[in-house]
Homo-oligomer: A and B are copies of this chain.
Amino acid sequence: MSVKSTAARRTTRGGAKRRGGEPELVQLLTPEGKRVEHSEYSIDLTPEELRGLYRDMVLTRRFDAEAITLQRQGELGLWASLLGQEAAQIGSGRATRPDDYVFPTYREHGVAWTRDVDPLNLLGMFRGVNHGGWDPNENNFHLYTIVIGSQTLHATGYAMGVAKDGADSAVIAYFGDGASSQGDVAEAFTFAAVYNAPVVFFCQNNQWAISEPTAMQSRVPIYQRSAGYGFPGVRVDGNDVLAVLAVTKAALERARTGQGPMLVEAFTYRMGAHTTTDDPTRYRADEEREQWELKDPILRLKTYLEAEGFADEAYYASIEKESDALAKRVRDGVRTMPNPDTMAIFENVYADGHALVDEERAQFAEYLASFADETEEH
């Protein structure tokens, strides 16, 4: 009962306030880089912490740009760029604790960064050498999930397990505006609510699901979806790293303290194409992008840092240097990333073995060997 009433309270009291029909975004830093206060969500960071967020976003964007280049050069088969979503990802990722657990989509490169996942790990699947392959438990960062929405249920189940263990960790499930239409996401909401699971549903509404605008998924703001499932939702300015950090921290804290799930909608924008194979000129106007450029998450923080005198030229130069080093490391790492061994096809299909796999492996090895023989013979 207490959860229910909290939920109801939160929904009306929280970020859901409307002014002239449009829902209010939780915002702590305006697009012009001005620091503002919010009645419910606040944050107090040291200059060093603020610089840290800036660094995270710059390095993430650089990594992303490098990946796009690598794709153009044929080193990657595909890339899903996070350009424009740095604040949503860095802010939410930095809100997590090491013992929290993250369930990403395929675009959470910034979140991965905050979890200390080696960027090279993320590139394997886009290069085509594996389907992910990192150890999710190393950084409590699950594998990228491509089937839209699936991971929200995994996150909910994981959170149910956390609660069973009596741990005070929380779980965060990322998904997109498009994903909000999938039945799996709705079922995740139901399970999370019914079991009061410590999970935060973090929706990056980047306005587009490939070529479809968010209006094709919902007629009302997505953050309003959760109230009808019995937990609160809030919309945060997804290009404001401070607001995202504050809101996500609060949501995770809520989960941690037994108050159940919460939905955070980070209102942001996919500045680039859906992936490197996509051509957004077919379906959206340049002006839209230009409008959103004015809200750039990195520029905004930089303006604030500069206004406050929290960072100087030397600092920016050092970040630039770090960016170059990261880019080089990524470039070199990708180019020298070994192809998997052919016989890897048969590995890890099962943990406890399977006769048919063994048989096919043996037959295929023999088949491959027959070429070697031929070569030797001739």
Give me the interface of A with B, judged by CB distance under 8 Å: 3-5, 7-8, 21, 181-187, 190, 193-194, 215-220, 224-231, 233
Residues of B within 8 Å of A193, CB to CB, are 218-220
| CB nearest to A215 among chain B residues | B194
Asked if B181 contacts A183 (CB within 8 A), the reply is no
Asked if A187 contacts B194 (CB within 8 A), the reply is no
Residues of B within 8 Å of A4, CB to CB, are 219-220
Residues of B within 8 Å of A215, CB to CB, are 194
- Distance between A324 CB and nearest chain B CB, rounded to angstroms: 45
Q: How far apart are the CA atoms of A233 and B228 in the complex, in Å?
A: 10
Q: How far apart are the CA atoms of A231 and B7 in the complex, in Å?
A: 20
Most chain B CB within 10 A, of A190, A216, A224, is at A190
A190 touches which of B3, B7, B218, B226 (Cβ 8 Å): B218
Residues of B within 8 Å of A226, CB to CB, are 228
- Distance between A205 CB and nearest chain B CB, rounded to angstroms: 14
Asked if A224 contacts B227 (CB within 8 A), the reply is yes
27 pairs, CB–CB < 8 Å, chain A vs chain B: A3-B219, A4-B219, A5-B21, A7-B220, A8-B220, A181-B187, A181-B190, A182-B187, A183-B183, A183-B186, A190-B217, A190-B218, A193-B220, A194-B216, A194-B218, A218-B230, A219-B229, A219-B231, A220-B228, A220-B230, A224-B227, A225-B228, A226-B228, A227-B227, A227-B228, A228-B228, A228-B233
Given A183-B182, A187-B181, A218 and B229 contact (CB-CB distance below 8 Å): yes
Given A181-B187, A186-B183, A227-B227, A194 and B220 contact (CB-CB distance below 8 Å): no
Residues of B within 8 Å of A219, CB to CB, are 3-4, 7, 193-194, 229-231
Copy number of this protein in the oligomer?
Answer: 2
Q: How far apart are the CA atoms of A190 and B181 in the complex, in Å?
A: 6
Asked if B228 contacts A224 (CB within 8 A), the reply is yes
Residues of B within 8 Å of A181, CB to CB, are 187, 190
Residues of B within 8 Å of A184, CB to CB, are 183
Q: How far apart are the CA atoms of A183 and B148 in the complex, in Å?
A: 13
Residues of B within 8 Å of A186, CB to CB, are 183, 185-187
Residues of B within 8 Å of A217, CB to CB, are 190, 194
Residues of B within 8 Å of A229, CB to CB, are 218-220, 225, 228
Residues of B within 8 Å of A5, CB to CB, are 21
- Distance between A21 CB and nearest chain B CB, rounded to angstroms: 8
Most chain B CB within 10 A, of A187, A220, A227, is at A220
Q: How far apart are the CA atoms of A185 and B183 in the complex, in Å?
A: 8
Residues of B within 8 Å of A216, CB to CB, are 194
Q: How far apart are the CA atoms of A193 and B233 in the complex, in Å?
A: 20
Residues of B within 8 Å of A220, CB to CB, are 4, 7-8, 193, 227-230
Q: How far apart are the CA atoms of A7 and B216 in the complex, in Å?
A: 17
Residues of B within 8 Å of A185, CB to CB, are 186
Most chain B CB within 10 A, of A3, A215, A230, is at A230
A224-B227, A225-B229 given; 15 more Cβ-contact pairs under 8 Å: A4-B219, A5-B21, A8-B220, A182-B187, A183-B183, A194-B215, A194-B218, A194-B219, A218-B230, A219-B231, A220-B230, A225-B228, A226-B228, A228-B228, A228-B233
Q: How far apart are the CA atoms of A4 and B220 in the complex, in Å?
A: 7
Residues of B within 8 Å of A227, CB to CB, are 220, 224, 227-228
Residues of B within 8 Å of A21, CB to CB, are 5
Residues of B within 8 Å of A182, CB to CB, are 183, 187
| CB nearest to A149 among chain B residues | B183
